[in-house]
Homo-oligomer: A and B are copies of this chain.
Amino acid sequence: MNVYDVTNWKPRGKPLNVYEDIGAVINAMIKDIKARQTDQAAKPGAVIYIPPGDYSLKTRVVIDISNLTIRGSGHGFSSLSIRYNTDDTSGWHEINPGSSHIKVENTDGQNEAILVLRDGSPRIGAVVLENFCLDGTSFDGDQNSYINGKTGILIESDNDACRIRDMGMVYLEHAVVVRGADALDVSGNFLTECGNGIELLGAGQATRVSDNHIGAGPNGYSLLAENHNGLLVTGNNIFPRGIDSVHLRDCYRTNISSNRMHSFYPGMVTLEGTCKENLISSNMFERQVEGFAPFIGVGNGLGDDFGVVQVNGDGNTITSNHVTLIIPSDQVQPAGVTPTIFRIKRGDQNLVGANHVISNLGVYTVYLDADTTNSHVFDSGAEDQFHSDSDSYGFRATP
């Protein structure tokens, strides 16, 4: 009764074609659930199953009930970037993503494939979106713009204990956007070739972002969080490109640990605004240069003295990371600048200890700006790799 299959549902009235508009079908199912579950004490929700198939979504799905699971049978990711940058794909086996494959082709004037939004109390909760594919199908212009105005999932109102997992998302300008998250779980997803991967906006707390494959476009974030307390970012493999791999804005007590990050631009992890007491530990940072022809020459506008990691705020901790930075000397931006690994731009009591940096260039492993105080720097490079514009610090070179 609470199990729906999008390919096998016969509501009364006008029939709907799920392949032409899966959004309309899912909305009709949600309407049906709400019509059946009217007792405040008994709203278990439902599971809506999407079998493997190619579906178009023309109408935005609006989820305004708790306890709804939408589940497919496969993330179905396939690289559209390689396809569009290949001259002749006429001999290819297949040219589109697949599995439970939803083409995001709104004709309703909306930008999102799925919107989660509910006013009143309690916060909407336990919405689970798992194991299907949201495919934006194309970007504007030459297909390498990463711009099309499309969003995969937007959770707009405050929410509790929601889950987004095992999804595939491709060629969306925004893959996952969540405002007001509490105990959100974003895990096991393939969020690649999207303008932005995961954006946690407004504010939030106690979220997990783990075990994902993520790679944003050159003008977006792989992971962006604002005003979050207690975000845990672990076990992710974050590919290029992305303005940042992880960008924190005014976040407190994030734990970014045991991730692998790979980027072609400065600023892989940026702590912007006033970021306090965040931990960056046991991560692998690989900073290389672009090698894929369509993106050569594209950058994020930052200089190589910005830092592979840049910190603004107080009491942050950077320990036990490995950083490799390899840039052909003639590609350093701006020319002649000394590339920087850990740049502490502003703040009190930041600590950088027991990190290891490998580079083909002369670098500053740690650079303290004038507006820093009581910094602690140790075992993170040689004395001549350290620079400070402030007098307020402790330093010890790696033996």
Interface residues of A (CB under 8 A from B): 1-3, 7, 40-47, 51-54, 65-67, 69, 71, 73-79, 82-83, 86, 89, 91-101, 118, 120-122, 125-126, 128, 160-161, 163, 168, 183, 185, 187-188, 190, 192, 206-208, 210-211, 213, 229-232, 234-237, 239, 253-255, 257-260, 262, 276-279, 281-284, 286, 314-315, 317, 319-322, 324, 349, 351, 353-354, 356, 358, 376-379, 394-396, 398-399
A sample of 19 more A-B contacts (CB under 8 A), given A66-B78, A183-B192, A278-B322, is A40-B95, A41-B96, A43-B96, A44-B76, A45-B74, A47-B74, A67-B99, A69-B73, A76-B126, A79-B122, A185-B188, A206-B213, A230-B237, A254-B284, A255-B282, A255-B322, A277-B322, A279-B356, A395-B399
- Is the CB–CB distance between B354 and A43 below 8 Å? no
A45 — nearest CB in chain B belongs to which residue?
B98
A398: chain B residues at CB < 8 Å are: 351, 353, 376, 378, 394
A166 — nearest CB in chain B belongs to which residue?
B163
A324 — nearest CB in chain B belongs to which residue?
B277
Given contacts A255-B259, A282-B258, A356-B317, contact A237 B76 (CB under 8 A): no
- Is the CB–CB distance between B187 and A183 below 8 Å? no
How many copies make up the complex?
3
Smallest Cβ distance from A368 to chain B, in angstroms?
Answer: 13
- Is the CB–CB distance between B51 and A2 below 8 Å? yes
A69: chain B residues at CB < 8 Å are: 52, 73-74, 99
The A interface, classified by DSSP as helix, strand, loop or mixed, is loop
- Is the CB–CB distance between A281 and B282 below 8 Å? yes
The answer, among B42, B276, B277, for a CB contact under 8 Å with A54, is B42
When chains A and B are docked, how far (Å) is the Cα of A78 from the Cα of B182?
12
A127 — nearest CB in chain B belongs to which residue?
B74
Given contacts A232-B235, A315-B358, A354-B319, contact A67 B76 (CB under 8 A): yes
A188: chain B residues at CB < 8 Å are: 185, 187
Smallest Cβ distance from A379 to chain B, in angstroms?
Answer: 6
Smallest Cβ distance from A282 to chain B, in angstroms?
Answer: 4
- Is the CB–CB distance between A93 and B255 below 8 Å? no
Smallest Cβ distance from A93 to chain B, in angstroms?
Answer: 6
A399: chain B residues at CB < 8 Å are: 376-378, 394-396
Between A66, A74, A358, the greatest number of chain B beta carbons within 10 A of the residue's beta carbon is seen for A74
When chains A and B are docked, how far (Å) is the Cα of A41 from the Cα of B103?
12
Given contacts A43-B98, A92-B120, A398-B376, contact A253 B207 (CB under 8 A): no
- Is the CB–CB distance between B97 and A41 below 8 Å? no
